[in-house]
Structure 1
Amino acid sequence: MSTALRQTGDWQPELATALTTLPGNKLDWLAQRRAKALNQFVELGFPTRKTETWKYLATHAIAQITPALSQSAVVDSNQITQWRLDGCDEVVFVNGIFHAGLSSLPSDQNIAVKSLAELLVTAPEQAKELLAQIDQNKANDAFDALNQTLIRDGAVVTIADNGVIERPLHLLFVSTTTNNAITPVNNWISAGKNSQGTVIETYIGNDKANNLTLSRTTINAAENSQLNHYRCQRESKQAYHFAEMTVEQARSSRFSAHSIALGSAIARINMKIVLAGQGADCQLNGLYLTKDKQVSDHHIEMQHAVPHCRSDQLFKGVMDDQSRAIFNGRILVNKDAQKTEAYLTNRNLLLSKLADINTKPELEIYADDVKCSHGATIGQLDEHSLFYLQSRGISREQAEHLLIYAFINDVVDRITLDSLHEQIASLIIGRLPDSEFIREMV
């Protein structure tokens, strides 16, 4: 007998109960906001393939989950040592809840880090202003509405005007749940005028964690700021991960972003970056690796709203076994955005006849004095390169694995933070056959 597909309305009773346990539930404005988000979640329904932006991603497996909110858990410091980054201050969240005992907060006076749950108690008006920023950039899909229904905690990072942050800040999100629990996360990163800093977000889970992570990060880069941002998604292959990231750049700001997607059964990230001030520059690099039956989905919108801005995007993907990836990158150049430079490249490597990629780079240009290009490639390993390596005494299998790493390393080498570069490179090499041989060669 077949089981009827659950709809968003079927989740409503459990979610209504969960609302009573959330921080700030005595604040009328917040209770109203959550109730409105719940109604939106029910009305929108789970995305289906009839929706253009979801046509390649099935969500019926997630719809079958019996919803429950993730809870705090006791985690020993030794358990997360492997995920820490040398030379970084760290803010640790366990199942979406700030864990002070595992964190080492910055001592630098130029950076302030708070948790959203703390602000809901100590500075509710500030929290209200932060949530208003989300309302201006709603994703209009059920997963983001669900995140806002259950909004609970996250990192609020503020770099002061003229502040130069010497130690990078690592936001580490650890998942331990094994009951398909929902983990909502909402972060804000604000880089003040003339500031410089680096922030890393890592989403990690133990091998048995099968959580549904709903993440949103709102970034504001003020005039002449320089912000490096890394996002590493390494959750377990039983987990689900849906993320939103919105960025607004002011005049002469520099934003360098890196998205590394390695984990989860199904993972999707929507990024929207608005170059809102003249002279703004955005460098966006991405890497997604899938195997078994993993699905990785990236939707990127780069909006040039004003003249004299530049953006450059490079995304690479490697798909193996029966895994799939989706990439949709869109460059939008507004009518007044003359002297724009915008570039987008998506390159993909298929290692199996059953692996698949759906890629769709787009240009939408309303200005006439621009330099723009976009392109996508889908291919296999180059036979000429394989032959060359074999002629140097390397076996065909080893040559294949070396070329795969070389393809990936083009993105990995753009990670300028040494401890993160070492961690990601080691992790990727460990996923490849002949890992010891590759380590010797590189």
Structure 2
Amino acid sequence: MNAIERIQQLGMPRRNNELWSFFPVAKIPAPEFPDACASEEDFSGETDFAALLPVAQNARTMVQNIADGSEEMALLKCNNDFGRTILNVGKGAKASFEILDNKVAHKIAAERFDVNIGEGADVEFFFANPANDLPLRFRHFRITQAAGSQVRFSSIERGNGISRVSIDAFLQGAGAHFEIRTLNILNGDSSSHHRLTIHHEVPETTSIQFARNLLDGHATASYDGSVIVNPDCTKAFSSQLVNTILLSEDSSVSVKPVLKIYHDDVECTHGNTCGELDPDQMFYLVSRGIPPENAKKMLVEAFAKELFYPLPETPAKKRLLQTLA
């Protein structure tokens, strides 16, 4: 079944679909599809509308192969409404990919990334684009990891529109590690939504999910993170933590952790905090002569930067911290 047939079979996203529980699905315009699908791939098993959309729209596919043991830095940018990128990262390679926005405002934009990571490879994805007015943007990542590979995914989301990042990560080799750190800095009527499913398919795999939100005005954010640990996956480790600071009474956040664990020799945790700026910390700073507005900025900046401090000294960390300076 090609992408057009599958997306027509699924129909438009609905709020009763668990993949779209928190997303304002009424904002998605009904797409018009070409007469034929250029891709001959079988998408009968795909369930995410956003993952199918670029392929169903016959997006031009960019393929990039990273050779075994090589090191590479690259910028990835979609120049059209719809884009698809296939990345094949070789054994032991190191790669850093910064994803840039297409700043031309379109009614809807969607990108799909298919990433295949070889044994022992070290890969980072990051984006920290300036705030933009893109009305509706989807990004979907399908990541497969071989033994001993590491993936770090880091982002800062800003803007006045609606964005959704979805990730399906498959840890298929012992020692594979997946880590995601996301920061939403939103105000006005903007909204940002993250939907993750991490599949621990073999023993001794690890995953970390760490998200933080700074929400002002009528901004909304959601985090829908699922972890699936297969029956034979001994010594699997997974953690999820979402921290939110609401800077206005009209901002809101929704968090849904899902753990599906089919083995008892694992360590899986999740946590969620939501509140305002710490009044004790504000009092401490103001009592030492710092104006309240400056004190607020200091606390907000510290909350944001702390998320990325544990990253290794790579282009991603440097770029993210520079953006927050």
Q: Mark yes or no: TM-score above 0.5.
A: yes
Structure 2 counterpart of 1:189, one-letter code: L
In 2, Cα distance between equivalents of 1:273 and 1:420: 20
Identify the match of residue 274 of structure 2 among 378, 390, 400.
Answer: 378
Structure 1 counterpart of 2:144, one-letter code: E
Displacement after TM superposition at 1:186 (Å): 0.6
Q: Does 1:202 align with 2:100?
A: yes
Q: Which residue in 2 is equivalent to 1:355? A: 251
In 1, Cα distance between equivalents of 2:254 and 2:64: 35
CA contact (8 A) 2:78 2:111 kept: no
Identify the match of residue 56 of structure 1 among 22, 38, 48.
Answer: 22
Length-normalised TM-score, structure 1: 0.67
Q: Which residue in 2 is equivalent to 1:294? A: 190
Structure 2 counterpart of 1:203, one-letter code: D
Q: Which residue in 2 is equivalent to 1:170? A: 75
CA contact (8 A) 1:203 1:232 kept: no
Q: Secondary structure at the match of 1:269?
A: strand
Q: What fraction of aligned residue pairs are identical, expressed as a percent?
A: 24
In 2, Cα distance between equivalents of 1:425 and 1:256: 16
Structure 1 counterpart of 2:66, one-letter code: I
In 2, Cα distance between equivalents of 1:368 and 1:184: 43
Q: Which residue in 1 is equivalent to 2:203? A: 307
In the TM superposition, what are the counterparts of 1:34-433 in structure 2 within 5 Å? 36-63=2-29, 132=41, 135=43, 138-141=46-49, 143-165=50-72, 168-173=73-78, 183-205=81-103, 209-232=105-128, 234=130, 236-263=132-159, 265-414=161-310, 421=317, 423-428=319-324
Task: Give the number of aligned pairs.
Answer: 322
Structure 2 runs not aligned, ≥5 long = none
Q: Deviations over 1:204-252 (max 9, x none)?
A: 415xx24411111111111111112224465632421012111111111
Q: Secondary structure at the match of 2:28?
A: helix
Structure 1 pair 184/64, CA: closer, same or farther in 2 (3 Å)? closer
Q: Secondary structure at the match of 1:63?
A: coil
Q: Which residue in 2 is equivalent to 1:438? A: none
CA contact (8 A) 1:233 1:263 kept: no
In 2, Cα distance between equivalents of 1:63 and 1:396: 43
| RMSD (CA atoms) | 2.6
| Bigger fraction of residues in strand | 2
Structure 1 pair 232/417, CA: closer, same or farther in 2 (3 Å)? farther
Q: Deviations over 1:350-404 (max 9, x none)?
A: 1110000001122221111112211111111001111111122111121111111
| 297-306 or 56-65, larger mean C-alpha shift | 56-65
CA contact (8 A) 1:151 1:186 kept: no
Length-normalised TM-score, structure 2: 0.89
Q: Which residue in 2 is equivalent to 1:28? A: none
CA contact (8 A) 1:210 1:236 kept: no
CA contact (8 A) 2:6 2:44 kept: no
In 1, Cα distance between equivalents of 2:126 and 2:206: 20
Structure 1 pair 252/234, CA: closer, same or farther in 2 (3 Å)? same
